[in-house]
Amino acid sequence: MNAAVCELIECGLQASADERASEGLERALAACAGELEQTRARLAEAELRREAAREREQARARIERALAERARHELASCPQCREPVRGTDLLVSGRCPTCGRALTALLSPRPQLGAPDRDEYLALLGALGGLVGLALASTSENTD
């Protein structure tokens, strides 16, 4: 009879240990499920940020292409030699590519001989301002 009682007690202790182990496993499973949901949420957020960054990059590239196209157009004539001056000559080097004269006088939109067309001038400045604004915005987003 002692052997039977011992066997019953052992079976009860084993069942109790199995139940505790099962509860521990269930808690670990619930914790893993919670971590999985958090990871999925972080992944979704990261994908949204990546998509927004891709859209910003595409917009910046479009603005850069537009500015480059504008900069290649003939914008004015040199006040000294009357040769054509492009946007790049005016905004990058600041000098006439033919005679080397400074073109700073062409930067003011007042009527003068050889001055840029008002609309071309404003379009070039607008494109340049857009590019600078985008560069500043992307710089501030990278520091956040």
Boundaries of every domain in the chain: 27-143
**Residue 37 or residue 128, greater confidence:** 37
Confirm if 81 and 114 have CB atoms less than 8 A apart: no
In this prediction, residue 140 carries a pLDDT of 63
Confirm if 60 and 130 have CB atoms less than 8 A apart: no
Confirm if 105 and 85 have CB atoms less than 8 A apart: no
**Residue 29 or residue 111, greater confidence:** 29
How much is the average pLDDT of 129-144? 68
pLDDT tens column, 5-43: 677 677 766 766 677 777 777 888 899 899 999 999 999
**Residue 36 or residue 117, greater confidence:** 36
**Residue 60 or residue 109, greater confidence:** 60
pLDDT tens column, 49-105: 999 999 999 988 888 888 788 778 887 788 888 888 888 887 778 888 899 888 777
Tell whether the model's pLDDT for residue 113 goes beyond 60: no
What's the start-to-end Cα distance of the chain, in Å?
A: 76
pTM: 0.48
